């Protein structure tokens, strides 16, 4: 009796702005799945491809492991950055030897920049002020 679900080796969460990615690392060389779709369909383009393959290429693991990812919130690029951070964290949780090369490639650093919140008296915007008189 064979089980159709692959064995989950490790899992982690990555975040960027409002986006949250839940990543599970599984053995195999199939294409990653993001919200049930192939990653190349969910994040099309060459620049996105180089970004999400970066954790595996840093460690030379492209044909050894794959991942299933669930992302929600934020925009596409925030989701992509959250997924990359989640991949790096999951690989580190699986094997602690992976931490140094991923840290050196700056893949384990969470980008903490968020949107500037609105301020009182600015007309609903964060930086808009009343125009000063010319003279």
23-69 per-position pLDDT tens digit: 999 998 889 999 999 999 999 999 999 999 999 999 988 788 999 99
- Average pLDDT of the residues in 90-99: 93
Q: pLDDT at residue 1 above 50? A: no
Query: Does the residue 112 lie in any domain?
Result: no
We report the CATH number of the domain holding residue 34 as: 3.30.230.10
Residue 135 confidence class, pLDDT cut points 50, 70, 90 = confident
Percent of the chain with pLDDT over 70: 97
Show Cβ contacts of residue 87 under 8 Å, excluding neighbours closer than 6 positions: 12, 14, 23, 25, 52, 55, 56, 67, 69, 107
Q: Structurally, how many domains does the chain consist of?
A: 1
Query: Does the residue 109 lie in any domain?
Result: no
pTM score, whole prediction: 0.86
Tokens found for residue 82: 């959250």
């Amino acid at each position: 009796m064979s089980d159709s679900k692959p064995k989950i080796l490790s899992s982690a969460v990555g975040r960027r702005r409002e986006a949250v990615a839940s990543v599970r690392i599984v053995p195999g060389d199939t294409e990653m799945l993001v919200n049930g779709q192939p990653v190349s369909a969910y994040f099309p383009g060459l620049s996105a491809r180089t970004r999400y393959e970066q954790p595996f290429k840093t460690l030379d693991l492209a044909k050894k492991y794959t991942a299933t990812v669930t992302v929600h919130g934020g925009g596409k690029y925030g989701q992509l950055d959250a997924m990359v951070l989640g991949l790096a964290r999951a690989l580190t949780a699986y094997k602690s030897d992976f931490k140094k090369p991923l840290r050196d490639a700056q893949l384990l650093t969470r980008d903490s920049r968020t949107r500037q919140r609105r301020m009182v008296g600015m007309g609903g915007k964060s930086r808009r002020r009343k125009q000063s008189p010319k003279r």
